[in-house]
Amino acid sequence: MLIVMEKEASDEDIRGVVAKIEALGYVAQPIPGGERTAIGILRNPGPVDPALFVDLPGVQEAIPVSRPYKLVSREMKRADTIVEVTGGVKIGGGHFVVMAGPCAVESEAQALTIAQAVKAAGAQIFRGGAFKPRTSPYSYQGLEEEGLKILAQVRAATGLPVITEAIDHHSLDLVEEYADIIQIGARNMQNFSLLRRAGQARKPVLLKRGMSATLDEFFMAAEYILSEGNTQVILCERGVRGIGSHARNTLDLAAIPFVKRESHLPIIADPSHAAGRRLLVAPLARGAVAVGADGLMIEVHHDPAHALSDGPQSLYPDQFATLMQDIAALRPGQWS
Amino acid sequence: MLIVMEKEASDEDIRGVVAKIEALGYVAQPIPGGERTAIGILRNPGPVDPALFVDLPGVQEAIPVSRPYKLVSREMKRADTIVEVTGGVKIGGGHFVVMAGPCAVESEAQALTIAQAVKAAGAQIFRGGAFKPRTSPYSYQGLEEEGLKILAQVRAATGLPVITEAIDHHSLDLVEEYADIIQIGARNMQNFSLLRRAGQARKPVLLKRGMSATLDEFFMAAEYILSEGNTQVILCERGVRGIGSHARNTLDLAAIPFVKRESHLPIIADPSHAAGRRLLVAPLARGAVAVGADGLMIEVHHDPAHALSDGPQSLYPDQFATLMQDIAALRPGQWS
Amino acid sequence: MLIVMEKEASDEDIRGVVAKIEALGYVAQPIPGGERTAIGILRNPGPVDPALFVDLPGVQEAIPVSRPYKLVSREMKRADTIVEVTGGVKIGGGHFVVMAGPCAVESEAQALTIAQAVKAAGAQIFRGGAFKPRTSPYSYQGLEEEGLKILAQVRAATGLPVITEAIDHHSLDLVEEYADIIQIGARNMQNFSLLRRAGQARKPVLLKRGMSATLDEFFMAAEYILSEGNTQVILCERGVRGIGSHARNTLDLAAIPFVKRESHLPIIADPSHAAGRRLLVAPLARGAVAVGADGLMIEVHHDPAHALSDGPQSLYPDQFATLMQDIAALRPGQWS
Amino acid sequence: MLIVMEKEASDEDIRGVVAKIEALGYVAQPIPGGERTAIGILRNPGPVDPALFVDLPGVQEAIPVSRPYKLVSREMKRADTIVEVTGGVKIGGGHFVVMAGPCAVESEAQALTIAQAVKAAGAQIFRGGAFKPRTSPYSYQGLEEEGLKILAQVRAATGLPVITEAIDHHSLDLVEEYADIIQIGARNMQNFSLLRRAGQARKPVLLKRGMSATLDEFFMAAEYILSEGNTQVILCERGVRGIGSHARNTLDLAAIPFVKRESHLPIIADPSHAAGRRLLVAPLARGAVAVGADGLMIEVHHDPAHALSDGPQSLYPDQFATLMQDIAALRPGQWS
């Protein structure tokens, strides 16, 4: 923490801040500048709350210097975390993985048809929603446990591990039982109660970035999971609120190299939800590979015009197969 | 729904869209224009999913025409909803209410001290967090049920009804038992599982707008609560992601007259969380009154420098008393 | 400037940064912390470019401490600037002013009709565009010099000083000749060549905040004008890109108290362009008064359905008269 | 234009809208729906102003259906525009081009050193600023005409065409004389007076997207240039205001495939200004290639720590050479 004083702060103001710092058990280091004095706080074991200083006489600003996150930080752990999924699939540290499937599991036939198609095209993990967080209470909400059973059948039939979203404690209990990776969606990125529960799970967790979350907030959400003991966390960039309506959200690809520098956790991209329309999915998927993502999550549906959820952004199986070939030409997982 | 065709769409393309509409049981109305044809969908009982059309040959765009929300809409219910709280306090329809208190309940002494101060200044409802959704797992997380007991004691001692936040099903059960109004925070605005549970509660619910939620999304979140049978919902504008860092969030005061036109539900403003700093709280509170808010939620702390949460945005009791006098001069609740 | 080192920065890295600071003629002050070292830069006459440090070995971040602006800063000039306009109208320092009129000057009859109406309701300055910056090249672009002549006739007939926008050097020459206040629009907030020219003008300048400008950028734009010698600058908040489409832009009323703390310049609000629709104009105008704005700029048209520009956000004269009465009840110019 | 009526609009309200449409010389087509009536406007030669309807009794909304842009639209011209630059360099239609060089031209030696380095690495166009639009009036503003002369010398020495920014009419006159491509920067994207002047120039124009411009606004800015007769326009995505501070702006790569669908004009990306820091430039450049950009504009400096402008985002020549090799592996210009 650095406390910046006003230009016209008095010596007494400065002594007041120093006394406050010392009363908290830290060490104060005044730094007289040309125009104004700043006061550094030393020996603090972790971040200090600016609230404690910003209101003292003569104080202009309190600037945090340390990062608020610890366990997710690359300063804490230099080596890339490699998340290991049932069946030997690895994510991170050069292991590039594509997760593909429908937005929602609709039936065994639908799920199996799509799973076989995406497996044939090279996907290594099957995705499909059983609990759907929908903006409208009148939209399709998913098959719930029935959907999880279908996912287990798909895994049995294809050998693909499965990922699906949990939306509350109850569904997380079930997802932990049936699935191979527990997904926490963008709308729940700061559902801290759910994050803690995910931190106690014995399965890897994929955490999506919230729609207007800074990377600090994203890291702190992951920190909740790690702080409960679950270190198998995959981050996922899925787009933030942007300018205009050409895409549903703006895929923030700069987040990927930045996350890889700051954190040891793997990060993948979800171009489907960012795009919101088929036209943009394949280009953004290729872009994500080229910036260095550790993987992709892609929506695929064999009959998107009749999909019960997010049809317009789902690729047809043949489009997905073409995309997988294009990706292979782009050195996936090898950029840093 | 209006389906806009591409300029060069063929007659066959147009027939394809018409056939699709009719297959769904609706009525298609082609509208030949100067440059291109559009096709209206009639007789649909509710919103139609654009997904069903956007991918057909020759289709350029599918434009929703109906609103997605129903129960919250003023088209559904013309008269203002007046929420009635324990003790005869009313919100909406010209009844203006100030809720005030600390960000977090820290102790009985702290809560009671502040409650007496805000009551003396004219507040009608006491606020205080027992379950705190904090960005960092290392920040103060609240007294939980102990905090709820303190709130009940404050109510007993002062007569003020109390409002406090629920962050998951477990805490909502407890909040419903102890408090007079159940608060759903901005981070949980799209925690649909929690919204459904709040819709089953027998207490009024205050729902905060998410940090990057459109008003349509905000209305749909309220729709989840109403669709479960709880019509006693208060909306709360608390700021959205904005430009720059002079305030934590940008209080979107235009939302207030807009919500009042579109919906019968009362809407209040929370200038404290929007501002993030004391300097801006009172001006924004006055501004919210003047645009026509049905109430305010304000953070007050007698010793903000030692507050365990959000100290820098808490008003001192004397600042709050001044603000209450200023508000009284601004015709609270009388603007439309 | 504070240079924050990485946790694992070596002593050599720290010596490198110190040497760089000293080579620039400044004084370096290392501040060893618990986890990492920071290095303060002292004796710098003005802001230091972070570019100079951010790339040196071991450097994690370079945090600016001083403000980049000088002449606009309240640290430079404590007393409120009061802008004096032809005819004795004053803005700032408790002097509250309403500028009103049509978006565009369309004819002498139109301008005069509206000017008489707004004068009767209490407006002190007449606004009307002669040079219109329009998103589309096919939209109405204004009467240009002919419009300026009409403005001069309106002033002669009503006694109201007039404000109008300049969009390039040529139009600024003309506006300086005919009008009483030169307006620089949001789209030109960072047209630095035009700002310099405005700084050389002998008339007051009203500078609108850009649609996605931070307040630092807004202050720096004003700094361009002041640095050329023109200290008669009025700032204007007119809304920034926000969330959703209920308003055209989000009027950022928190900017008003913040600007008044940081700068001595007066700041007014333009609710008409922020709202983009009549419904929201009066509420936002009242809100701006209550947060402490030094004035308002409001669009008024006696026949908005036939206005050549921005009709849907123009108030009818009787709506404007009602608004002026409401404003009078809200203690305009007396909030701080 | 589609006029959506309120649910409770009367027959008289509907007749009023129809009469208004017919008075304007268009054809009205009422579309009675289940819940409400909509009225289509037919036979309108171009976009209709919603202002004309939004205020009539019973009208809920006026929804534009046609695109506002014409000349830039792919509906107007199916084939890709290929911009031809002095020396036979082509951009668009499969021709991929890298423009590289320093942010600012600082001296002949500096410019020539960098130009030779980027040419050796494969760049086809040299960039360098002579007129610098800087946020602060106290920052380096460029060498102006002296800088243009240096650019001409660089072209003579290396054979590379040169691109440089114009910031007002005066500088555009000079840039048109000396340079091969005229750049209009993000801050001037809606400086319509400058756009018109660029439309009269006899040189190609590179137009950068404004920092918070929608693609519709971007297209309309280009429309200004084309409507004056200059069809040689290159669009450039350079990042928009985003969430958080990990990058200066958020490079909106989804804009690239969208622009290529809607318009015939070539579009390149500027990852340097979006990133604002070296770390992110190469990943974003690769991402832009993979989404299908027609080219890149990259800042390169042999001594960024001493660069007079934007040093922290400039690549070293060897980093640029590595990037050019990486790009070659990514099938530049071949994605669609």
- At residue A38's C-alpha, the angle toward residues A34 and A39, to 5°, is 145
**Inter-chain contact D167–C304, Cβ cutoff 8 Å?**
no
Q: Dump strand ranges (E) for chain A.
A: 2-5, 27-32, 37-42, 59-63, 83-85, 89-91, 97-101, 125-127, 162-165, 181-184, 205-208, 233-237, 267-269, 295-299
Is residue C188 over pLDDT 90? yes
Residue D110: pLDDT band with limits 50, 70, 90: very high
Where is pLDDT greater, at C325 or D66?
C325
Residue B32 pairs with which residues in a beta bridge? Answer: B37
Give the pLDDT confidence of C42-64 residue by residue, as tens digits. 766 666 777 678 778 888 878 77
Is residue C68 over pLDDT 90? no
A315 contacts in chain D (CB < 8 Å): none
Matching fold, domains D2-63 and D83-328? no
pLDDT of residue A47: 65
pLDDT of residue C266: 98
Is residue A110 over pLDDT 90? yes
pLDDT of residue C94: 96
C313 contacts in chain B (CB < 8 Å): none
Interface test with B, best of D75, D215, D216, D245 (most B CBs within 10 A): D75
Helices D278-291 and A278-291: angle between axes, nearest 10 degrees: 140
Task: Name the CA radius of gyration of chain B, rounded.
Answer: 23
Taking any CB pair shorter than 8 Å as contact, residues of chain C touching chain A are 2, 4, 6-8, 29, 31-36, 38, 40-45, 63, 65-66, 75, 241, 243
State whether the Cα torsion B258-B262-B267-B270 is positive or negative.
Answer: negative
Give the pLDDT confidence of B93-138 residue by residue, as tens digits. 999 999 999 999 999 999 999 999 999 999 999 999 999 998 888 8
Average pLDDT, chain D: 92
Task: Name the CA radius of gyration of chain D, rounded.
Answer: 23
Domain spans, chain D: 2-63, 83-328
**Inter-chain contact A278–B55, Cβ cutoff 8 Å?**
yes
Interface test with C, best of D76, D144, D192 (most C CBs within 10 A): D192
Instruction: Indicate the CATH number of D83-328 among 3.30.530.50, 3.40.50.2000, 3.20.20.70, 3.30.70.20.
Output: 3.20.20.70
**Inter-chain contact C40–A42, Cβ cutoff 8 Å?**
no
DSSP string across A32-73: E-SS-EEEEEES-SS---GGGTTTSTTEEEEE--S-S--TTB
Nearest chain C residue to A9 by CA: give it.
C75
Residue A33: pLDDT band with limits 50, 70, 90: low
Q: Averaged over D38-43, what is the pLDDT?
A: 78
pLDDT of residue D306: 75
User: Which of A213, A280, A292 lies closest to D257 in CB terms?
Assistant: A280
Please give, rounded to a whole number of angstroms, the shortest distance from the CA of C173 to a CA of chain D.
14
> ipTM value of the model?
0.91
Is residue C35 over pLDDT 80? no
Average pLDDT, chain B: 92
Is residue D245 over pLDDT 70? yes
pLDDT of residue D33: 66
Please state, for a pLDDT cut of 90, what percent of chain A lies above it. 72
**Inter-chain contact A8–C75, Cβ cutoff 8 Å?**
yes
**Inter-chain contact B246–C215, Cβ cutoff 8 Å?**
yes
Is residue B79 over pLDDT 80? yes
Please give, rounded to a whole number of angstroms, the shortest distance from the CA of C55 to a CA of chain B.
25
Q: Averaged over B298-325, what is the pLDDT?
A: 89
Q: Averaged over B172-192, what is the pLDDT?
A: 97
Residue A5: pLDDT band with limits 50, 70, 90: confident
State whether the Cα torsion D43-D45-D50-D55 is positive or negative.
Answer: negative
Burial D81-99 (b: 16+ CB within 10 A, else e): bebebbeebbbbeebbbbb
pLDDT of residue C43: 66
Helices (H), chain B: 11-23, 108-121, 145-158, 169-178, 192-199, 215-227, 255-262, 271-275, 278-291, 317-328
Please state, for a pLDDT cut of 90, what percent of chain B lies above it. 71
Distance CA B58, CA B10 (A): 7
pLDDT of residue C291: 98
Give the pLDDT confidence of A295-333 residue by residue, as tens digits. 999 999 998 877 777 778 899 999 999 999 999 999 999
Please give, rounded to a whole number of angstroms, the shortest distance from the CA of A282 to a CA of chain D.
8
Q: Averaged over A122-133, what is the pLDDT?
A: 96
Where is pLDDT greater, at D315 or A3?
D315
Please give, rounded to a whole number of angstroms, the shortest distance from the CA of B258 to a CA of chain C.
7
Q: Averaged over D139-152, what is the pLDDT?
A: 94
DSSP string across C193-247: HHHHHHHT-SS-EEEEPPTT--HHHHHHHHHHHHHTT---EEEEE--B--SSSSS
**Inter-chain contact B42–D35, Cβ cutoff 8 Å?**
no
Where is pLDDT greater, at C220 or B310?
C220
Contact status, residue A2 vs residue A62, Cβ threshold 8 Å: yes
State whether the Cα torsion B218-B220-B221-B227 is positive or negative.
Answer: positive
C311 contacts in chain D (CB < 8 Å): 49, 51-52, 55
Give the pLDDT confidence of A228-271 residue by residue, as tens digits. 999 999 999 999 999 998 999 999 999 999 999 999 999 999 99
Neighbouring chains of B at 3+ CB pairs under 8 Å are A, C, D
**Inter-chain contact C40–A38, Cβ cutoff 8 Å?**
yes
Lowest-confidence range among C172-181, C197-206, D4-13, D89-98? D4-13
pLDDT of residue D112: 98
Interface test with D, best of C135, C220, C279 (most D CBs within 10 A): C135
Give the pLDDT confidence of A274-293 residue by residue, as tens digits. 999 899 999 999 999 999 99
Secondary-structure class of domain B2-63 per CATH: alpha beta
Is residue A66 over pLDDT 80? no
Nearest chain A residue to D261 by CA: give it.
A279
Interface test with D, best of B41, B42, B48, B73 (most D CBs within 10 A): B42
A173 Cβ contact list (under 8 Å, min separation 6): none
Is residue A213 over pLDDT 80? yes
**Inter-chain contact D137–C304, Cβ cutoff 8 Å?**
no
pLDDT of residue C26: 84
Is residue D49 over pLDDT 90? no
User: Which of A34, A45, A241 lies closest to C34 in CB terms?
Assistant: A45
Distance CA C240, CA C231 (A): 25
Distance CA A222, CA A232 (A): 10
B67 contacts in chain A (CB < 8 Å): none
Please give, rounded to a whole number of angstroms, the shortest distance from the CA of B263 to a CA of chain D.
14
Nearest chain D residue to A240 by CA: give it.
D243
Is residue B67 over pLDDT 90? no
Is residue A36 over pLDDT 80? no
**Inter-chain contact A220–B136, Cβ cutoff 8 Å?**
yes
**Inter-chain contact B255–C241, Cβ cutoff 8 Å?**
no
Residue C95: pLDDT band with limits 50, 70, 90: very high
Give the pLDDT confidence of D165-175 residue by residue, as tens digits. 999 999 999 99
pLDDT of residue D26: 84
Distance CA A316, CA A304 (A): 7
Please give, rounded to a whole number of angstroms, the shortest distance from the CA of B41 to a CA of chain D.
8
pLDDT of residue A8: 82
Taking any CB pair shorter than 8 Å as contact, residues of chain C touching chain B are 212-216, 240-247, 250-258, 261, 274-275, 279-280, 283-284, 286-292, 326, 329-331, 335
Contact status, residue A27 vs residue A69, Cβ threshold 8 Å: no
Please give, rounded to a whole number of angstroms, the shortest distance from the CA of D180 to a CA of chain B.
36
- Among A169, C85, D34, D48, smallest CA distance to D20 is for D48
Please give, rounded to a whole number of angstroms, the shortest distance from the CA of D291 to a CA of chain A.
4
pLDDT of residue B47: 65
User: Which of D258, D290, D291 lies closest to A246 in CB terms?
Assistant: D258
Q: Averaged over D18-39, what is the pLDDT?
A: 80
Where is pLDDT greater, at C44 or A224?
A224
Is residue B45 over pLDDT 80? no
pLDDT of residue A331: 94
**Inter-chain contact A52–B305, Cβ cutoff 8 Å?**
yes
Residue A27: pLDDT band with limits 50, 70, 90: confident
Nearest chain D residue to A259 by CA: give it.
D246
**Inter-chain contact D242–A256, Cβ cutoff 8 Å?**
no
C259 Cβ contact list (under 8 Å, min separation 6): C215, C218, C235, C237, C265, C267
pLDDT of residue A138: 85
pLDDT of residue B141: 87
